Amino acid sequence: MSWKPRLREDVDFCSLSLDTWQGFLLSRLDGLLGVEDLALLTGLDPASLQAMLQDLVAKGAVAPDAEAEPVPEAEAKTEPVPEVALAQRGLFEQRLHARPADERAPLARGAEEPELSAYCYDPMPEVIQEIFRNPRAGLQHARLVAAQHRSAAGLEMVAANAAFAGDLGVRRALLQNPVLPASLFRRLWGARRLQELYLVADSHEVPEQTRSMGKEALRAGFNQRTADEKAELILKTEGRCLPLLGGLTVDGHTTQLLCRHTYTSTLLIQNIARWSAAPPQLLTHLLRQETVRRNTQLRLLLERHPNARA
């Protein structure tokens, strides 16, 4: 039997440290959908979804898979616990940083723990380059560099390794890094699904510069994607994406797909009614919906739209 993730009972979700993607995924968990169904519903690729679910299990938000072996806590975490991170940074600042950069680089290449993790806090890209030439370096070091390093060149070195670039923890850390270069963002996220780009553009967990890059990628990719993906974005975000798409229109096929949908969400109807580019056919379709016919305010909002047909 496949795992059907469900929320844990008696958990104060407000007390958990959750990012926008995790909050979005939690809102879709009902205990009835399996992982494959959730991948289709959310638009996330199965590998990323599975990793995110395991992270939520580790944080206590989601009940674990009863048929799976428990994930060791050290493997479930994408970042070191605060005490460990403090010790790593302290080791670098108090002992390692005193050496000249041209000495630190070769030392990083041959370092063992705990010095190897401590070198991940080094601000020099030359040192970061040598870390990834160290045969002992792995995913945990890539996550540390992605989170802590502050040079575009160093972050490019993390993403040069395909396994690192595809890791959910590394990608999350890169998004939260204030010096993430636009070129790297476009390379790693430019081809992602519209829904994932929207989550970046709407996230309060990433710097304003990264949100702007997400919005730019969302707008640039919107008219290049299939009608199915565009309609999916509007429906699954309940129209929250529409303010970010100002000035863009949808093609006839996308309009047809939207008009095949039965609308029961007041929020979705309101967002479409406030969308300046809402197609006339879609407005007409919404006015026929039972939810609108029973709600005078919704009906008036739609009828006042400039594109509404008489």
Domain residue ranges of the chain, discontinuous segments joined by +: 13-76, 82-180, 227-303
- Report residue 76's pLDDT band, with 50, 70 and 90 as the boundaries: very low
**Dist. CA 306–CA 301, nearest whole Å:** 10
- Measure Cα distances from 40 to 33, 109, 229, 234 in Å: 10, 43, 11, 15
The mean predicted confidence, pLDDT, of the chain is: 87
Residue type, 180: L
Residues 6+ apart with CB under 8 A from 121: 88, 89, 92, 93, 144, 148
Burial class (CB in 10 A: 0-12, 13-18, 19+), 12: exposed
Nearest one of 191, 156, 151, 153 to 170, comparing CA atoms: 156
Residue 304: count other Cβ atoms within 10 Å of its Cβ: 9
Peptide bond preceding 243 in cis form (omega within 30 of 0) = no
Residue for token digits 């070129």?
A: 183
174 near 180, Cβ under 8 Å? yes
pLDDT digits (tens, 9 = 90+) for 15-71: 777 776 777 788 778 777 788 777 766 767 677 788 888 888 888 888 887 655 444
Contacts of 228 (CB under 8 A, 6+ apart): 257
What is the amino acid identity at position 234?
I
User: What is the C-alpha separation between 151 and 180, in angstroms, rounded?
Assistant: 8
pLDDT at site 66:
62
- Per-residue pLDDT reduced to its tens digit, 241-295: 999 999 999 999 999 999 999 999 999 999 999 999 999 999 999 999 999 999 9
Mean per-residue pLDDT, 157-169: 91
